[in-house]
Every structure is written in structure tokens, then in C-alpha cells.
Amino acid sequence: MRRLNPTAVLTITLLALMLAGGFLSGIWGFALGREALKGVSQPDARPTAKKNQKDSQLASKPLIFLKEADIIKTVKVRLQEKDKQAKPEKKEADSNINENLVAKAEAAQKPPTQPGFPITTKDKGVVLEIRSIHKKEGFLLLDVSLKNESSQPVKFVYSFLDVTDNWGRPLSANVEGLPGEIPANSQAFAGTVNIPNSVLENAEQLSLTLTDYPEQKVRLQAAGIPIAKPSN
């Protein structure tokens, strides 16, 4: 009898053991998986069932196309409604702005409150008013206004304005803002008389004299104008 090769016997034995182990492992894994899946049942419907149902319902309904005229009409109506809502707000805002502008204009026309002012002189329907006095940047400023209530225009050359202090000394002065001709029945024109501080040494009061040119029929005189001493 031929003797079996030990190596072949060993190899066959190992293969048999591996097959047996794999078979047993498979059975054991199947048993574990089955035990773990107890109580789990198959879903009643597929995940896409509801979606397919909705798609079928939409497909069964006919498509309705809106008319272009209806769309334009709807848009116009909505725009008109928005405009109606926006207009009252805009009118209210414009009204507030106008009220503020009017208030500022009225405040600008009113002379500042100052003791002893305004000082007014009038001749032949022409009114000169010294509204206030203050110092600024090396000058004494007199806020003045001219108004012609007569029926004839009046002309002035302001370089002929005569300004003196309480000592009788003539003072140099420059007029700004007043027109050369004041129309008949006019509104008040505002301006300033600028006097350098350097010529006001020891002066306490001022006097102004202004005549029309060239007739010199109108003579406006204001005396005893106190020199204020506000801070520069």
C-alpha cells in the first residue's frame, strides 16, 4: 500500500478546517442578523409613493394660463394702491419742511432782542431802523433796515453817511447790504453799518445822519445809539 504524503494530508486537513469554520461562521452570523431584525417589518408603501401620487394629481389637472391683459391690470391696481399710501406721507413730510422754512425765515427777519433797540427815525415816508448792535472780528456792527413808504423812489449814496460818537468825533463807516435806490412802497431792506473798533476809543454812544442823493430832501437822523459791549 502506497504511503500518503504528510504534507498533502496536512494541507487537506487545514482546508477542511477552514471550510468548516467558514460554514459555522456563516450560520452564526445569519442567526445574529435574524435575531437583530426581529420586530422590523417592511414599510407599507414605497418612499416615492406619495410623490408619485401628487405628480399624478397635478398631471390630471389642466394648466390654466393667465391673460397678459389681466396681469397688467392687476399690477396697475397694486401700484396705484401703493401710490395712494405713499402720497399722504410725502405731503406730510413736505408740509413739515415748508413749516420749518417759514419759521426760519420769520426768525431771520425778526431783529434780536436787545435793550434800547430798535431805534427808529422817519422822514417823508422813509424809515431808518437800527435793530441791534454787536461786535465781530474787530468791527462794531449795526444791523439796520431802510423802508420807503412814500410814493416816490429814493436814492442814497452811503459813502455820505455821517457817523459821530458822543464826543462829536467823525467816525469812518462802511455800509453793506442796502440798495442804492429804495423803491416806492417797498418792503424793508436789511443791511449793516460797519465801524472799526480802532476809532471807538472812549466812545459810549453813536449818532447817524443819512440824506438822499442828490436832492437831499430826506434827512434821517438817529442819536444816542448805545455801544454794546458783548464779547468778541
Q: What is the mean pLDDT of residues 107-131?
A: 81
- Structure confidence at residue 88 as a pLDDT band (50, 70, 90): low
Burial of 109: CB neighbours in 10 Å, binned 0-12, 13-18, 19+: exposed
Distance CA 135, CA 203 (A): 14
Q: What is the mean pLDDT of residues 17-40?
A: 78
Q: Are strands 181-182 and 154-155 parallel, antiparallel or unpaired?
A: antiparallel
8 A C-beta contact, residue 205 and residue 226 = yes
Q: Which of 11-20, 91-100, 123-132 is least confident?
A: 91-100
Q: pTM of this prediction? A: 0.51
- The per-residue pLDDT for 30 is 80
- The per-residue pLDDT for 98 is 62
Q: What is the pLDDT of residues 192-228, one digit of tens each?
A: 999 999 999 899 999 999 999 998 999 999 999 998 6
Q: In the predicted model, is pLDDT for residue 182 greater than 50?
A: yes
Kindly list the structural domains of the chain, giving each domain's residue range(s) and its CATH number in brackets, ordered by start: 119-226 (2.60.40.10)
Q: Are strands 181-182 and 174-176 parallel, antiparallel or unpaired?
A: unpaired
Burial of 128: CB neighbours in 10 Å, binned 0-12, 13-18, 19+: buried
- The per-residue pLDDT for 106 is 52
